[in-house]
Amino acid sequence: MRVALCGLVGILLAACTGGGPVGGHDPLPTALQPWVTFPVDASPRPIVLVDAPVAGPRGFYGSENAKLAFERGAFDRPTRLPTGPASASGYPIINADKAFDLLKAQSNGPPAGSLRLTISDVRLGTGTFLTDRGSKTMPVWLFSMAEVDGPIAVLAVAPEALWFPPDLGPGQSHDIGASVGRDNRTLTVNFVGAESDTGPCG
């Protein structure tokens, strides 16, 4: 286990030094190469979203059918959606129409049953999402449905203010966690970045 942890420290150091060798040793592992393209000198720094861009709802009223209908995307685009401002809280934002597309994209599987949910209200608000720099409160579009407990928050920050590795696009979340291999000696850690510092990753 000590060897695996030492290797992890080396990877974390490599993440802040670009794609070249670390201390004259081996270059970055293949899994970290996509992060070499991160624009470390950009101002403002792009947001690296760890959460999925959709949060909520708290629950569902009535039967299990409402939950299944939501998960399968059994709801329609409202005939009228607010246009909204071009920016909020210092971020460029998408309009409610694009936010609906993002919400719909989170559905999985074919429609099941005859129940369709009705979107009763759409408004601009704020929500908290996990990023590589901790939790951030950012603009969201809040979608309310009659059969759903609490609004669904869809991140409103425009794609140009976000950054994703080449193999992970908007609407997807990072896989973060750790697991021990079958040999009980190998530790695999998935992570987004290092803690805030004054170096290239700061």
Same domain for 80 and 153, yes or no, is yes
Q: Report whether 25 contacts 13 (CB < 8 A).
A: no
Q: Which domain holds residue 28?
A: 2-43+171-190
So what's the pLDDT on residue 141? 97
What pTM value is reported for the model?
A: 0.69
**What is the residue whose two structure tokens read 């987004």?**
192
**What is the residue whose two structure tokens read 């947001």?**
47
So what's the pLDDT on residue 5? 33
Tell me the H-state helices in the chain: 2-15, 64-71, 96-105
Same domain for 67 and 88, yes or no, is yes
What is the mean predicted confidence (pLDDT) over 28-53?
82
Instruction: Answer yes or no: is pLDDT of 61 > 70.
Output: yes
Question: CB-side exposure of 58: number of CA atoms within 13 Å?
Answer: 5
Listed ranges 54-63, 68-77, 184-193; the one with the highest mean pLDDT: 68-77
So what's the pLDDT on residue 139? 97
Q: Report whether 154 contacts 54 (CB < 8 A).
A: yes
Same domain for 39 and 118, yes or no, is no
* Count of the separate structural domains present in the chain: 2
Query: With the C-alpha atoms ordered 30, 49, 193, 41, is the resulting torsion angle positive or negative?
Result: positive
Same domain for 157 and 65, yes or no, is yes
